Structure 1
Amino acid sequence: MPHALRVRDFRYLWAARAIAGLGTSMLVVAIPAHVYAVTGSVLATGVTLAFESLPALLLGTVSGAVADRWDRRRLMITADLVHAAAISVALLARSPETIWLVYVAVLGQGTAAVFFRPASQAHIPAVVGTGPELTSANAISSVSTGVVGLAGPPLGGLLFAMYGIDAVVGAAAAAGLLSATGIALTSARPHTHLGGRSGLGQGLRLVRRAPATRALLAANGTYLLANAALTALLVPFAVSTFGGSTDVGYLLSALGLGFLVGAPVSRRLVDRFAPRPVIAVAQALVGAAFLLMFNSTSLPFALAAAFLLGLPGVTVMVAVQTFVQRATPGELLGRVTAVFMTVEAAVAMTGAFAGPAMSEAYGLPVALNVACSVTFLSALITLWFVPAGAVRQELSPSPRR
């Protein structure tokens, strides 16, 4: 059994996060499909997607301050309950005149997720410590997140096609309640309240005090920007190169398999080597795998490249997350995690628009190769700006006020 799963509380926390993630990912396809079925409007469907990203952009750093000041276990339980209640509002949207209720539901569900994530990330070191068990926990969590992210959307779409939106929303709400129950079964832990300023911008001020964390934020933001652009171009690439959108499913499955195989390898790499070379080499290998995949004309070759992409891809996720958790004191971790989460949301939205826009202007091959080049740029930023060696407790708590 992996190290982290030997810890009882982590088993409950991991299962709760996986269940909650499955419920949320089932809505990715079903909610926009329901909006389009009710309204017949592409614009209304697009507004739904915009509301999904809005909470992370507006409340990301605030949620981090809350995670540092409140009991994180109770905060996660509250977020799960809010998620279940909020998404249930979508059941009332049955006509174009009431479709605004879907926007309310998505906004509420997204807000709950924004507060859940930094609390969850900051709570993991309190449960498993900062030794090898932490790397194991992050590797396991990354795999389950990838698997859930692949399985949830098609499952939600299938449920919607067979039984309608009621079944999907009911399943998502039930997942939130199950997640809250699982977290409630974990042990209560002492919470250190940190005095001083809080709110918007506090997380950024903390990151500015930490050179290695600040450099890693820039490198990871660049890396995720490229990933978002390439993800947005994946369907056009599959259709234009292989002749069908179903090939996207094959590529995603190969990527998921690479994640599964790469998880135990990533854990060993992160514990054995310094963060800078591990992250930089993994980012460069991701760029190389993207180049191979998007410049292939054979589906088997593209599938092999997608599989190889998953191996360093999971390593980047585990290494960045573990570095932040080890370099940041527990009472500051919520805010610092929220900064990374907010940057991730911002670059994801930017890349999703920039990739297709560049494709329209200069053609799909140019857009794909430019985005791959940005991935290599992230590796150079990591090598150039992240200090050599492992950095632990880079930040120090501010005095109480």
Structure 2
Amino acid sequence: MAGVLQALRIRDFRLMWGGSLISSLGSWLLILAVPAHVFQVTGSLRDTGLTLAAQYLPLLVLGPVAGVFTDRWDRRMLMIATSLFRAAAVTAMLLGTSPGRYWVLDAALIAENAGGVLYVPAARARTPAIVGTGSLLSSASSLNAFAGGIMQLIGGPVGGILLTLYGVRWLICADALSYLISAAANVLTSRTGGPHVGRAASISGVASDLVEGTRILRGQPVARALLPVTVIFLAANASLSAVLIPFGVQRLGGTGHTGFLLSCLGAGVLLSAPVLRVLLDRARIRNLLAASLTVTAAAYFLLFTSSSLATALPAAVAVGMFGTVSEVAPQTAIQRVIPNGVLGRVSAVFVTGEAAAALTGAVVGPFLAQAVHLSGIAAVASLVTLGAAALAFRIVPRRPAIMAVPSTAIDTQS
């Protein structure tokens, strides 16, 4: 466990990680509350799926351009500004919790995630600039997985309990506050932590930067291979995520049991942290990704064909653990092989692909579930994930050239 915590020696990373931990808690409170609230009121899988789909539209539309701004602007200031914007967007959700006003809720979700379009590639690019691309980056990736697991572990049950006791409006306020705390944590970080050009954005300049980022992505064999594998896997994952809350409510006995299901997913993510810390530095990305995707596919099928907590909860742990490995391993590989000056653009391409996959899955999943039932969509998603595993083993290079760049921030920020 000491190896997992290694990156926390760096002050800027401690602050970034702590702010993300708190904002993730606020977000996880709403992950259960918002779709559960909509489903309980409308009883519609379609409306629930569309609420989830609204979260991905900004990433799909704005993602590539956001990557250009991430590489042009001060990433620290960008993370502060977007956290404040997201706090305001979440607050606006208070106006959309009544029947007939869910369009306001969807609009606020779109605005909140528009801020995330800039925040996510900025955070991904700033992390290796602070900790380097060696073993400390593996530690940082493991810590991020650990934080995600903790939030899933407590966020689901706490969100379900608070939704029952206080209603969705209280949870919305808590999420807005968490974004404000995240902004404050980033304010306390140093003004260094990665190159930024600081140029004014013009149409021709943005287009030129997009072309350059695409050229670098196409010229890097590892990044080029990981993009389609990631997109395929996340499409399958999103199709099941879109029906997870209705599955828990209908099959497992209500929001309380659904909270336990989310907790087990979080426990799996938590267990992935020490595994990632070891495997990211030792296993070849091709073998690691193919194996983790294969196990994830089997766990998907077991989970969504379960009719009791006795089988659903262990399957959820496996999905959380191996699904996290399947998601984090490509991200870490990209942070290592792509130069930091263009990492924002390349990360944004991946974020856009992830959003396209998630949007497709979120829309298709509920409709497919209504047509072929939950067991049918479980079979389809499992087969698609197995296809991603085979593709990873086929096209990802056996011996990728990954050069570890040591952190320059350890001595000055610890």
Please give the TM-score of this superposition, normalised by the length of structure 1. 0.85
Q: Does 1:336 align with 2:338?
A: no
Q: Contact 1:224 / 1:344 at 8 angstroms: preserved in 2?
A: yes
- In the aligned structure 2, how far is the partner of 1:274 from the partner of 1:90? 44
| Of 55, 58, 79, the match for 1:55 | 58
Question: Shift of residue 73 of structure 1?
Answer: 0.6
SS state at 1:56 partner: helix
Q: Which position in structure 1 is the counterpart of 2:272?
A: 262
Contact 1:142-1:317 at 8 Å conserved across structures: no
State the alpha-carbon separation in 2 of the partners of residues 378 and 47 from structure 1. 26
Taking a change above 3 Å as real, the CA distance of residues 78 and 243 of structure 1, as seen in their structure-2 partners, is closer
Q: 1:198 aligns with which of 183, 202, 206?
A: 206
Give 2:120's aligned residue. Answer: 117
Correspondence list, 1:2-401, <5 A: 2-31=5-34, 48-91=51-94, 101-149=104-152, 151-152=154-155, 155-156=158-159, 158-164=161-167, 166-189=169-192, 191-193=195-197, 197-198=205-206, 202=211, 203-234=213-244, 246-295=256-305, 299-392=309-402
Counterpart CA distance in 1 for 2:27 and 2:279 is: 31
CA gap of 1:364–1:388, structure 2 versus 1, over 3 A, is: same
> Is the 2:160–2:255 Cα contact (8 Å) retained in structure 1?
no
Gaps of 5+ in 1: 395-401
Matched residues in 1 for 2:319 and 2:88: separation? Answer: 38
Partner Cα separation in structure 1 for residue 276 and residue 35 of structure 2: 35
* Residues 128, 238 of structure 1: alpha-carbon distance in 2 compared, 3 angstrom cutoff: same
Distance in 2 of aligned mates of 1:35 and 1:294: 21
How far, CA to CA, are the matches of 1:75 and 1:354 in structure 2?
33
Between 345-354 and 11-20, report the one with greater CA deviation.
345-354
- Over 3 Å counting, the alpha-carbon distance change for 1:319 and 1:94 in structure 2 is closer
CA contact (8 A) 2:59 2:114 kept: yes
**Cα distance in 1 for residues equivalent to 2:248 and 2:52:** 23
Aligned pair in 2 of structure 1 residues 98, 12: CA closer, same or farther (>3 Å)? Answer: same
AA matched with 1:65: V
CA contact (8 A) 1:138 1:322 kept: yes
CA distance in 2, matches of 1:245, 1:95: 20
Q: Could you say what secondary structure the match of 2:55 adopts?
A: helix
2 CA distance for matches of 1:236 and 1:204? Answer: 39
Distance (whole Å) between structure 1 residues aligned to residue 294 and residue 311 of structure 2: 19
Write the distance in 1 (CA, Å) between the matches of 2:246 and 2:47. Answer: 23
Match of 1:26, SS state, is helix
**1 CA distance for matches of 2:100 and 2:328?**
45
SS of 2:123's partner is helix
- Where does residue 409 of structure 2 map in the other structure? none
Relative contact order, higher structure (CA 8 A, sep 6+): 2
Say what the alpha-carbon RMSD is for the aligned residues: 3.3
CA distance in 1, matches of 2:129, 2:286: 25
Q: Which amino acid aligns with 1:191?
A: P
Q: What amino acid maps onto 2:140 in structure 1?
A: A
- Please name the residue that 1:397 is paired with: none
Contact 2:85 2:112 in 1 (8 A): yes
Deviation at residue 386 of structure 1 after TM alignment: 0.9
Bigger shift: residues 274-283 or 308-317: 308-317
Residues 41 and 227 (structure 1), Cα distance of their counterparts in 2 relative to 1, 3 Å cut: closer
Greater mean deviation of Cα atoms: 93-102 or 348-357: 93-102
1:240 CA drift (Å): 6.8
Greater displacement, 55-64 / 121-130: 55-64
Amino acid at match of 1:137: A
Equivalent-residue separation in structure 1 for 2:333 and 2:157 (angstroms): 33
Residues 4 and 287 (structure 1 numbering): CA distance in 2 closer, same or farther, change over 3 Å?
Answer: same
CA displacement, residues 43-86 of structure 1 (integer Å, 9 cap, x when unaligned): 98776544322211111111111111111011001111112223
Change (3 A) 1:172 1:307: closer
Contact preservation (8 Å) 1:329, 1:393: no
Deviations 1:312-332 (A, max 9, x none): 222222211110100111011
Over 3 Å counting, the alpha-carbon distance change for 1:147 and 1:327 in structure 2 is same
* CA distance in structure 1 between the aligned counterparts of 2:311 and 2:34, rounded to whole angstroms: 34
* Compared CA separation, residues 276 and 100, structure 1 to 2 (3 A): closer
The secondary structure found in structure 1 opposite 2:398 is coil
User: Alpha-carbon deviation of 1:34?
Assistant: 7.1
> Match for 2:61: what amino acid?
L
2:407 aligns with none
Do 1:88 and 1:170's aligned partners in 2 also have CA atoms closer than 8 Å?
yes
Q: Tell me the CA shift for residue 266 of structure 1.
A: 1.6
Offset at residue 235 of structure 1 (A): 5.0
One-letter amino acid of the structure 2 residue matched with residue 118 of structure 1: P
Which has the higher mean CA deviation after the structures are superposed, 244-253 or 185-194? Answer: 244-253
CA distance in structure 2 between the aligned counterparts of 1:150 and 1:136, rounded to whole angstroms: 21
Between the aligned partners of 2:11 and 2:24, the Cα distance in structure 1 is 20
Q: CA deviation at 1:369?
A: 1.4
1:269-322 deviation digits (Å, cap 9, x = unpaired): 110122111111111121122334445566424433332333322222221111
Q: Distance in 2 between matches of 1:381 and 1:61?
A: 25
Give me the whole-angstrom Cα distance separating, in 2, the residues matched to 1:354 and 1:284.
22
List runs of 5+ in structure 2 lacking aligned partners: 405-414
Q: Which moved more, 1:103-112 or 1:237-246?
A: 237-246
Which one-letter code corresponds to 1:355 in the other structure?
Answer: G
% of aligned pairs identical?
41
